[in-house]
């Protein structure tokens, strides 16, 4: 089972995104948080910034839309060539239709759940998604403390995927660090968003490698 690290630029130097992304060459993708100050109480960057950053890196883009009206916005990120587009279950009126549209445009479709949103209502739809993102903090701000109470939800999501025979990536986002990544991997996660842990490290790329190795050891020892 491969473990993928997708560092979030939310905690990087936003005035030098190209330079910051260049510091993580061994990352599996760049995680970009798009916030609209409506769905979450913060405002970050959008499609124009994503499009210009694409010219500066060969790394895939893992877009996390923390916005209202995901139904109309998500396909635009797929059209822009982002490898994976994540939308929130709480922000779409038609998750299956949206996932199919994202896939039709050539991107992976990913469903995100806030801490209070259960996975169970989506159990029958799981085959429509390439990935489920389980938020391990309340979305909106970087640097928050990891919520251990989300570990059972990761386990249940992995069990639902296994029971459905679906190849599903499970991504975790929020407070992921060397201290917490092992628990997430043991619970069944295999894609990890780390912001503060990576970009506040002395050597961000070395931290990407350390996180990946820590996750793999935990998954194998389990």
Per cent of the chain over pLDDT 70 is 99
Terminal-to-terminal C-alpha distance of the chain? 12
3-state secondary structure of 112: strand
User: Quick check: 193 and 176 in contact, CB under 8 A?
Assistant: yes
Q: Give the confidence band of 12 by pLDDT, cuts at 50, 70, 90.
A: very high
Residue among 28, 36, 173, 190 flagged as catalytic: 173
Task: Supply the pLDDT for residue 92.
Answer: 95
- As to burial, measured by CB atoms within 10 angstroms (0-12 exposed, 13-18 middle, 19+ buried), residue 85 is buried
* Dihedral (Cα; 115, 120, 125, 131), 10-degree rounding: 40
What residues are designated binding site?
Answer: 8, 31, 33, 64, 140-143, 173-175, 195-196
Average pLDDT over residues 37-65: 94
Tell me which of 28, 33, 36, 62 is the catalytic residue.
33
State the fold for domain 4-221.
TIM Barrel (3.20.20)
Is there a catalytic annotation at residue 124?
Answer: no
pLDDT at 9 over 80: yes
Asked if 54 and 32 count as a contact pair (C-beta separation under 8 A), the reply is no
Check if 33 is active-site: yes
Dump pLDDT digits (tens) for 100-121: 999 999 999 999 999 999 999 9
Cα(71)–Cα(2) distance, integer angstroms: 31
pTM above 0.85, yes or no: yes
Reported as a single tens digit per residue, the pLDDT across 179-212 is: 999 999 999 999 999 999 999 999 999 999 999 9
CB 188, CB 2: distance < 8 Å: no
Annotated binding-site members for substrate = 8, 64, 140-143, 173-175, 195-196
Q: What pLDDT score was predicted for residue 4? A: 98
Summarize the confidence of residues 38-60 as an average pLDDT: 93
pLDDT in tens, 58-74: 999 999 999 999 999 99
DSSP reduced 3-state for 91: helix
User: What residues form the annotated binding site for a divalent metal cation?
Assistant: 31, 33, 64, 173
């Amino acid at each position: 089972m491969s473990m993928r690290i997708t560092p979030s630029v939310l905690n990087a130097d936003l005035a030098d995104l190209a330079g910051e992304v260049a510091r993580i060459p061994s990352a599996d993708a760049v995680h970009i948080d798009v916030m609209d100050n409506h769905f979450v109480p913060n405002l970050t960057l959008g499609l124009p910034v994503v499009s210009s950053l694409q010219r500066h890196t060969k790394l895939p883009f893992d877009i996390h839309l923390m916005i209202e009206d995901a139904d109309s916005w998500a396909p635009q990120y797929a059209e822009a060539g982002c490898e994976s587009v994540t939308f929130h279950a709480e922000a779409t009126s038609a998750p299956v239709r949206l996932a199919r549209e994202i896939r039709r445009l050539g991107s992976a479709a990913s469903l995100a759940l806030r801490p209070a949103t259960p996975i169970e209502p989506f159990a029958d739809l799981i085959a429509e998604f390439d990935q489920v993102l389980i938020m391990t903090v309340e979305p909106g701000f970087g640097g928050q403390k990891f919520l251990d109470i989300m570990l059972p939800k990761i386990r249940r999501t992995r069990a639902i995927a296994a029971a459905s025979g679906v190849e599903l990536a499970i991504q975790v986002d929020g407070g992921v660090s060397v201290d917490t990544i092992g628990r997430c991997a043991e619970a069944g996660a295999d894609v990890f968003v780390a912001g503060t842990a990576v970009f506040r490290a002395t050597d961000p790329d070395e931290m990407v490698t350390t996180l990946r190795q820590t996750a793999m050891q935990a998954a194998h020892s389990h």
